[in-house]
Amino acid sequence: MRHIVQVEQFTRDWIEELFGQADKMRDPGPNERLIGNSILATLFYEPSTRTRLSFESAMLRLGGHVISTENAREFSSAIKGESVEDTVRIVAGYSDAIVIRHHEQGAAAIAARVSPVPIINGGDGSGEHPTQALLDLYTIQNELGDIDGLTIALVGDLRYGRAARSLALLLAMAKDTTVVFVAPPAVPMGTDVKDKLTSAGVRWKDETDLNAMLPRADVVYQTRIQRERFATPDEARAAEGHYQFTAESMSRMKEHAILLHPLPRVDEIAPDVDADPRAAYFRQARNGVLIRMALLKMLIDG
């Protein structure tokens, strides 16, 4: 696999190999390290804490180097009118792989078409966030011991939330899965994703009552309302405040269920939930470094 653009590129075998490599990255020996002279470029046209810094941390932990533009919309030559294609052609000459985050859906695919070095989609508008989905599924495996036979509730902004879209698609590679979409009416999961799950034989359903479904879920994946993607603040406000997760919500969950969130959170998980051992979202974020180390090793080092 040369570029990482969308979840549908992956196979179950490839995911299992990646997860095996990620396990080794907890205590990497000489065989797990890179590539001393390799350079990763992080080209971010949208804000990020986790994706950019965990990729950069992963590269540095592998012994490689990083070059970065963290606000490429303003501080790269995009402000002068340079196209994504031209920027990628140039940055590919300075690096061995590029992580790109862009505000427009499809930008990573455009970058991959012109890039001679691996392109990794770090999030493209409301499209996909494939490496987030990989670390989410890896976290489920680590926390629950399996990725098969689970009931997984995706909650919140499923229309604009690229992390939830990618995870839903990745769940098609697990067996005997039930996916439950719990979204405010303004931001339902797209029919494109639902149709793909149906084609893959995955059971899915829409649900409006989060409390009613919590006792059945093995994984609850909470997400924030993507305020920045709405046409107007009024439209965003109409989607907000529907599904806020509290300690009382947690009390309805199974003893061994987990609560995930791609983060950042705003107000959709109350802070007093954090102390519950089933709140796995900070462990989930830490897993991002392991998955991204494994991914960079596989892409750059072969």
Q: Which of 129, 159, 162, 224 is catalytic?
A: 129
Do 143 and 152 touch, CB atoms closer than 8 A?
no
Helix axes 12-24 and 281-301, enclosed angle (nearest 10): 100
How far CA 291 is from CA of 2, 149, 202, 298, in Å, comes to: 17, 23, 25, 11
Q: Name the residue nearer to ligand CP (CB basis): 73 or 89.
A: 73
Span interacting with ligand CP, options 46-54, 201-209, 238-246, 294-302, rule CB under 6 A: 46-54
At its nearest, how many Å lie between ligand CP and the CB of residue 212?
Answer: 28
d(CA 260, CA 282): 9
Q: Check if 242 is active-site.
A: no
The reply to whether 71 sits near ligand CP by the rule CB under 6 A is no
Which lies closer to ligand CP via its Cβ, residue 171 or residue 213? 171
Q: Which of 50, 61, 159, 242 binds ligand CP (CB under 6 A)?
A: 50
Q: Based on CB atoms, which residue is closest to ligand CP, 34 or 164?
A: 164
For residue 51, state whether it binds ligand CP (rule: CB under 6 A). yes
Which span sits near ligand CP by CB under 6 A: 30-38, 49-57, 183-191, 201-209?
Answer: 49-57
Q: Does 198 bind ligand CP (CB under 6 A)?
A: no
- Tell me how far, at minimum, the Cβ of 285 lies from ligand CP, in Å: 7
Q: Using the minimum distance from each CB to ligand CP, give the nearer residue, 100 or 163.
A: 163
Catalytic annotation on 129?
Answer: yes
Catalytic residue of the set 52, 61, 65, 101: 101
Q: Does 224 bind ligand CP (CB under 6 A)?
A: no
Q: Is 262 in the site for ligand CP (CB under 6 A)?
A: yes
What gap in Å lies between CA 156 and CA 153, rounded to an integer? 10
130 binds ligand CP (CB under 6 A): no
With binding defined as CB under 6 A, does residue 132 bind ligand CP? yes
Is 50 noted as a catalytic residue in this protein? yes
Q: By CB under 6 A, tell whether 49 contacts ligand CP.
A: yes
CB 183 within 8 A of CB 158: yes
121 touching ligand CP, by CB under 6 A? no
Q: Which one, of 120, 154, 124, lies nearest residue 137 by Cα?
A: 154
Quick one: residue 131, left, alpha or beta (phi over 0 = left, psi -120 to 50 = alpha)? alpha
Binding site for ligand CP (CB under 6 A): 48-51, 123, 129, 132, 163, 262-264
Q: Provide the annotated active-site residues.
A: 50-51, 80, 101, 129
